[in-house]
Every structure is written in structure tokens, then in C-alpha cells.
Amino acid sequence: MSFKVLHKDTGSKARAGVLKTAHGEIQTPVFMPVGTQATVKTLTNEELIQAGAQIILGNTYHLYLRPGEEVMKNAGGLHKFMNWHKPILTDSGGFQIFSLTVNKKITPEGFEFQSHIDGSRHFLSPEKVVEYQLLLGSDIIMPLDECVPYPSARDYVEQSLKITHDWALRSKKSLPKDVPNLLFGIVQGSSYKDLRKISAEELCAMGLNGYAIGGIAVGEPSDVLREISAYTAGLLPEEKPKYLMGVGMPEDMLNAIEDGIDMFDCVVPTRNGRNGQAFTGKGEIQVRNGSFKNDLRPIEENCPCYACRNHSRAYIRHLFNTNEILGLRLVSLHNITFYVKLIASAREAILCGNYSKFKKDFISNREKI
């Protein structure tokens, strides 16, 4: 077994575990910074390690288009290409084909689409996507799936699920037996609980290495997000890691941990960081704000990140006002540190048996700005 639950919370479904991969163990719950194009935006690997990152994401769709197979093969896979030697999870690209490409067409065989970069035509089958993730050397492979928009008609979701499940099975069949790469399943079903249940059952019957909840955080209200993700998490086997894709805000993650989720990824810390939004234990601040003009405090007191150890809000505000790249770096680094440490602290709280107090304290503090 690649996954082991070490401790279960008594007041909720929260659990602390360890997931073994070909590039080392991951302590769960875990936040995974997003490195779509073989780089977590603005940051070096060294900075990610200092922030405490245990695993990062790459994206099959993006890395298939650029740098492409030839370059990746020559480099010896994604770890060597980007010189990152801890685990990597690669998303299949289903979501990106759904959200980025034009003239796309889904058939039982796979996805036809035009590249968002140069309009070139491509076809990706579930087998091809697994093959490319094997070339990437991904520690955790996600199968090709269809991520339906919210809201979607029930009929459409039902049809889509058949394809997603068939693709998951084809993905499993195409993965050689002796490889160390893990293959997860992605539960879809939009906001329909019964369809989520069918999806979970079908995928669980395939005996995959872990289960992700997909099609979440695609525009649905936050109460729907919580309800569907909690419901779906409850359908998944306890002995496998549970991954809530693309979520989210700090409170959403802490709620999801209570529902039994082990793994998170989200672009918010880097994307919002590049827009000047910095996360703190008391809430978010916009560093461009005039109120920070003469504020010599760091973004957050006692934060161990380079930005907070070395620079003031006044200085970082100046960097944003003058469009200096160092500003984007400092806030991205702070936010990644905040996210990684938050989930690491949640794990500690689970192990110490005080998760619900930890969550309550965090949420009540967050309203203080």
C-alpha cells in the first residue's frame, strides 16, 4: 500500500497520513503548489523547498504543447528537466482542454482540440495522456477526464460520466504493471449527488491508487462546493488518499480536511500573489493599498518566509506601484509559504488531537482585518 493513515481525528473525518511515491514520502494533509509549465510561477525550487513544499503539480496539457515530447524525452523527464527531485503530480489536462482550447470536440476516443498558443490541431486519448505522464516521470498520474461546466444538464453529465469512467479504465489498462507511478481516479458528476455516487463506485471498483474529486471550484456557489465535496469524500475508500482538485481558499481547505480530504492544489497563492493579494492569519491584504504606504511591518509578523524576514509592507507596496518583478516574487513566496504551513499545521493539530480547536481559532482570527 502506498498510503497509510497514521491518526484519525475524533471529532471529524480529518486524518493525518503518509503517501509513498517514487520520489519520496508525502505527509498528508498536504498543499501542492501548482507548477503548470514546469515552474511554480516566479519561484525557484530552492524557494519552494524553503517554503516546505513536499510535492508540486505539473500540467500534462501545457507540457505536451511546450516544451513537447522530444525535449522532455531528451531531458529525461520532468524532474530532471526542471531539476526538482521531490514528488510531482501531473494533472491530465482535461480541465485545461475544457477551459483554454478552442474548437474542441470530445468523442469516446479522446479529445480533439486546437492549441491555445498557436491554434495547431491535436488529439489526445487517455492512453496517450498516460504515456506522456510516464515520459514526464510523474509520481502521481491523473487520467484524462471531462470536466463539465457548472451548471450542466443532468443528461449531459450522465453521458460525460460514461466517457470519463471508460477513460479511467483505459488509463489503468495502458499503465504497465511494474511501474512505480501511482494512478488516481477523478470523480465527476457535477452537482448531482447520485451521479457523484455512481462515479465514485465505478472508479473505486477499478482499484486505483487514490481518488480525486474533480469538477469542483468551477463557478458553483460555495455552499454547493462544500456540500458536494463533503458528500463525495464520504463515498471514497478510507484507505486511499483523497484529493480535492483546485480548492481553494484557506477556510475551504480546512473544511475539506474535516471531510477527510488529504491533498490540495490551487493557483490562488501565486495568481493572487502576482496581483498583490497577500494571505495572513488575520485575513487577506492588498499590498498596493495606500494604508501600507508607511507600514514598516512585514506582511505577517513571525512568518518565516524571506519576504517577511527581510521586507516591509511599505517596500513591497512600492515594488508593486513601480511594477517591479521582485514584488511579484515576494508576495508569491509569502503566499506559498502561508498555504504550505497552514496545511502542515493542520496536520500537526490532527496528530495532537486538537484539529477542531485549530480550525475554529484559525477561522475566528481570519476575520480580524
46 binds a second copy (CB under 8 A): yes
Q: Closer CB to a second copy, residue 100 or residue 351? A: 100
To the nearest whole angstrom, how small is the minimum distance from the Cβ of residue 340 to a second copy?
Answer: 18
Q: Closer CB to a second copy, residue 162 or residue 293? A: 293
Q: Which of 9, 91, 139, 262 is catalytic?
A: 91
C-alpha cell belonging to residue 264: 490540495
Q: Closer CB to a second copy, residue 48 or residue 203? A: 48
Q: Closer CB to a second copy, residue 48 or residue 183? A: 48
Phi, then psi, of 137 in degrees rounded to 5:
80, 25
115 binds a second copy (CB under 8 A): no
Q: Which of 139, 223, 265, 361 is catalytic?
A: 265
To the nearest whole angstrom, how small is the minimum distance from the Cβ of residue 98 to a second copy?
Answer: 20
Cα 114 to chain centroid, rounded: 25
Pick one of 6, 69, 83, 194: the residue that binds a second copy (CB under 8 A). Answer: 83
107 binds a second copy (CB under 8 A): no
Q: Closer CB to a second copy, residue 310 or residue 365? A: 310
Which residues between 303 and 362 bind a second copy (CB under 8 A)? 306, 310-312, 314-315, 318-319, 321-322, 324-326, 328-329
Q: Closer CB to a second copy, residue 93 or residue 215? A: 93
Q: Which residue has the cell 510535492?
A: 55
To the nearest whole angstrom, how small is the minimum distance from the Cβ of residue 336 to a second copy?
Answer: 13
Told to judge if 265 belongs to the known catalytic residues of this protein, a careful annotator would answer: yes
70 binds a second copy (CB under 8 A): yes
Told to judge if 91 belongs to the known catalytic residues of this protein, a careful annotator would answer: yes
39 binds a second copy (CB under 8 A): yes
Region of 11-19, 164-172, 277-285, 290-298 interacting with a second copy (CB under 8 A): 290-298
To the nearest whole angstrom, how small is the minimum distance from the Cβ of residue 289 to a second copy?
Answer: 14
Catalogue the active-site residues. Answer: 91, 265
Enumerate binding residues for a second copy (CB under 8 A). Answer: 37-39, 41-46, 62, 66-67, 70-71, 74-75, 81-83, 293-294, 296, 306, 310-312, 314-315, 318-319, 321-322, 324-326, 328-329
